[in-house]
Amino acid sequence: MGVYLHSLSAVFMIFSLMAVGYVLGKLGWMTASDKRFVSRFVVNIAVPMNCITGILNNFTRSDLAGMGLLLPVPFITISMCLLISFLVGKSLHLPRRRFGVFVAMAFISNTLFIGLPLSTQLFGETASGYVMIYYIGSTVFTQTVCVMLVEHAGSAAGKRSPAALVKEIFTKPPIIGLVAAVTMLLLDVRPPEMFMSFAKYLSSTVSPLALMYCGYIVYELGLRNVNMEKGILSMLIIRLLISPLICTLVCILFGVQGLCRSVFIVLSALPTVSQITVMAGAYGADEKYSAAGAILSMMGIFITVPLLMVILT
């Protein structure tokens, strides 16, 4: 019961901070330009600092080999979810404007804006290093497969070369921050304490700002768009139930145990990536369908995450 209440309070904290963002949008204190600033600040500054402090403060040089062996887990988990989502989407005979959106929503989770703050609430700052390992797999699929799926679903598809996609992935500040942190760990180099204190202050802004951003997204999408359209229930089952089951099996297969396994499983059971709704609007896919899936999947973790934590303990 103690574990259940702790995880429930963590999820409640997540939703409370999201509610702040929702109310700020409702009052007009937060606008689309503010949302853009928050997103850029969190992704380009706060999260890289979180990578550095999280890894250098919680891992040692001897942990590096084990961290490298963990990378196949998110890639295999996400790949299997992609296959299942594709097959289910085909069986539902969804229209073109929804098929790609359905698959994108179902197979990949919101590792950064929801996963990072939730994991640190549940497991402490030590979890941030494992979150960033999972984020590598997540961002690779988001920037490649997700983009192609939503582009195909829309009528305003733009084309990007494979080289441009690779460049976009590996020039992302969170990935650069992760690489920098691992390199310093490998070389047994630690920045001056003044810098580490500076990085810690910036790192501490990730959770509140990321969650207020998500709350504003819910306001922007509009609760009126929440309808249980065809395929939404199947998407929720894949995203919140089947995905963590697959991740559990993959972790067992690769011998991943302890805190890392728990973090990975929780990360695999999170809401859809909010970026999918933005892409749907940009490429002419079904934006309202994506909005409904995003909001309902966020609401779903209030039930699934506490139950998942009880099972993991």
Instruction: Assign 3-class secondary structure to 7-39.
Output: HHHHHHHHHHHHHHHHHHHHHCCCCHHHHHHHH
CA-CA distance, 206 to 211, in Å (whole number)?
Answer: 8
Burial of 208 (0-12, 13-18, 19+ CB in 10 A): middle
- State the pLDDT at residue 249: 96
- State the pLDDT at residue 169: 66
- What domains are defined for the chain? 2-312 (1.20.1530.20)
Q: What b/e string do you get for 51-79 counting C-beta neighbours within 10 Å, with b at 16 or more?
A: bbbbbbbebeeeeeeebeebeebbbbbbb
Full-model pTM: 0.82
- State the pLDDT at residue 263: 93
- State the pLDDT at residue 88: 95
Say how many C-beta atoms besides its own lie within 10 A of residue 257's C-beta.
Answer: 10
Ordered per-residue pLDDT tens for the chain, 313 residues: 666 777 778 788 888 888 898 999 999 999 888 888 888 888 788 888 887 887 788 777 777 767 778 889 999 999 999 999 999 999 999 998 889 999 999 999 988 778 888 888 888 888 888 888 898 888 888 877 887 888 777 765 455 666 766 676 677 787 788 788 888 888 888 889 999 999 989 988 877 887 888 788 888 877 776 778 889 999 999 999 999 999 999 999 999 999 999 999 999 999 988 778 777 876 788 878 888 888 888 888 888 888 888 888 7
CA-CA distance, 105 to 162, in Å (whole number)?
Answer: 22
Distances (CA, A) of 273 to 24, 102, 109, 297: 22, 12, 6, 10
For tokens 């993959």, what's the residue? 250
CA-CA distance, 256 to 247, in Å (whole number)?
Answer: 10
- State the pLDDT at residue 206: 78
CA-CA distance, 165 to 212, in Å (whole number)?
Answer: 29
Burial of 247 (0-12, 13-18, 19+ CB in 10 A): buried
CA atoms within 13 A of residue 234's CA, in its CB half-sphere: 20
